[in-house]
Amino acid sequence: MRTVLAIGIGAGDPDHLTLQAVEALGRTDVVFVIDKGDEKDDLRALREEILRRHRPDGGYRLVEAADLPRERSGPVSADADAYRDVVVDWQDRRAALYRDLLTANLADDECGAFLVWGDPSLYDGTLRLLDGVFSRMPDPDGWRVESVPGISSVAALAAAHRLILNRVGRPVLITTGRRIEGGLPDDVDDVVVMLDGRAAFSTLPPEQSAALHVYWGAYLGTTDELLVSGPLDQVCEQIVAARDEARERKGWIMDTYLLRRNAGER
């Protein structure tokens, strides 16, 4: 039996690791790292700090591979079917990469781990990829997958702004920036937005913006953390400027935000 762990490592603070995650790292023989390029040097440094703190004696092998590119612009991002096709193709190519990494580097009775940003259950494809990999293995019963939960950027955002995400008897929607471009759904008053590369909050109709309060955070849990909150129509330009400046300075940005109607209500 070979075991593969998807370990949630939090939103950016090395202290986000749970005791369960620390225990999982302690029994890991191989750590797999998918390199996302020079622009993500800060993220690489965080992984290295986590391993330095929680596996100071070494005792594991580090296996790295370059990530695979995916089309993100033009008509692909605007057309739902085209977007789905591109994502499926990208996931298939990534599954092949993971299969090759695992079969070449993980021996019988060994434990391998992927360190997953935030929580493996929320807008991360590692578990789905592993399921696809092992379903096509000649010996799928010889592999076991475990998910170790972590602190998501959503939880980190709520803590940073001292928020309770759900209001009494009301739902919370967690979605992506692409899904809110042009307008929020009418039947949800609390919307958490992730993976927003194009500031979708700035595309909302004026009548919606005027009724919304935004709680925005970038690089949550890190020394570069940025926080802005207030009526959306008043702070929208401030957030856009902060995002542009941060992206120019660091080469990348990770941000999450809550849009809330009737912010004064419980």
User: What is the pLDDT at residue 111?
Assistant: 97
**Confidence band of 91 (pLDDT split at 50, 70, 90):** confident
- Predicted confidence (pLDDT) at residue 73 exceeds the cutoff of 70: no
Q: What does the pLDDT average to over 148-152?
A: 97
What 100-109 contacts at long range (C-beta under 8 Å, 24+ apart), as own/partner pairs, is 101/32, 101/63, 101/65, 102/2, 102/4, 102/32, 102/133, 105/30, 105/32, 105/61, 105/63, 106/2, 106/4, 106/29, 106/30, 107/2, 108/1, 108/2, 108/142, 109/1, 109/2
Higher per-residue confidence, 167 vs 266: 167
Higher per-residue confidence, 87 vs 172: 172
Q: What does the pLDDT average to over 105-119?
A: 95
Dihedral over alpha carbons 35, 36, 40, 43 (to 10 degrees):
-50
Strands 173-176 and 190-194: parallel
- Predicted confidence (pLDDT) at residue 38 exceeds the cutoff of 70: no
- Give the range among 68-77, 83-92, 227-236 with minimum mean pLDDT: 68-77
Q: Whole-prediction pTM value?
A: 0.89
DSSP state of 142: G
DSSP state of 137: S
- Give the range among 131-135, 152-156, 184-188, 214-218 with minimum mean pLDDT: 131-135
User: What is the pLDDT at residue 34?
Assistant: 83
User: What is the pLDDT at residue 62?
Assistant: 94
User: What is the pLDDT at residue 264?
Assistant: 81
**Confidence band of 71 (pLDDT split at 50, 70, 90):** low
- Predicted confidence (pLDDT) at residue 262 exceeds the cutoff of 90: no
Return the half-sphere exposure (C-beta side, CA atoms, 13 A cut-off) of residue 158.
Answer: 16
Q: Which range, 51-60, 66-75, 229-238, is most confident? A: 229-238
What gap in Å lies between CA 12 and CA 229, rounded to an integer?
20
User: What is the pLDDT at residue 35?
Assistant: 78
User: What is the pLDDT at residue 182?
Assistant: 85
Contact 202, 240 (CB under 8 A): yes
Percent of the chain with pLDDT over 70: 94
Q: Phi and psi (nearest 5°) for 17?
A: -60, 135
User: What is the pLDDT at residue 263?
Assistant: 84
User: What is the pLDDT at residue 32?
Assistant: 95
- Residue 87 corresponds to which amino acid? V
Mean pLDDT for all residues in the chain: 90
**Token reading at 118:** 């935030």
Where would I find the beta strands (DSSP E) of the chain? Answer: 2-8, 30-35, 61-66, 111-116, 143-148, 173-176, 190-194, 212-218, 226-231, 255-261
Computed on alpha carbons and rounded to an integer, the radius of gyration of the chain in Å comes to 20
- Predicted confidence (pLDDT) at residue 132 exceeds the cutoff of 90: no
